[in-house]
Structure 1
């Protein structure tokens, strides 16, 4: 399952990117949420592709 680690990785990457840009807590949460959603979609597609190859 690539889905759940992708969500966590996306959240952390989004949080760090917002922090580097000087965002406050709400900015960091927004970046983290958007990145988590994007990574979740990518992880879901990766999981489907891997399952279809077997």
Structure 2
């Protein structure tokens, strides 16, 4: 659940960042995809850390 949540937040953050920088539709999609993957990796790392601690 953490992975999905952070992936979506990352995607939205990337889309918004490209929008504020004046990017076109493809720029927004690229930023959203990259930040989505970064968010998913951070979420996966947090999930592993939490599972190891419990």
TM value normalised by structure 1:
0.97
- Does 2:18 match 1:18? yes
Unaligned runs of 5+ in 2: none
Match of 1:5 in 2: 5
> What's the C-alpha RMSD, in Å, of the aligned pairs?
0.5
Q: How many pairs are equivalent? A: 54
Give the Cα separation in 2 of the matches to 1:42 and 1:19: 23
4+ runs of 1 displaced by more than 2 Å?
A: none
Give the Cα separation in 2 of the matches to 1:16 and 1:27: 11
Give the Cα separation in 2 of the matches to 1:37 and 1:48: 17
Match of 1:33 in 2: 33
TM value normalised by structure 2:
0.97
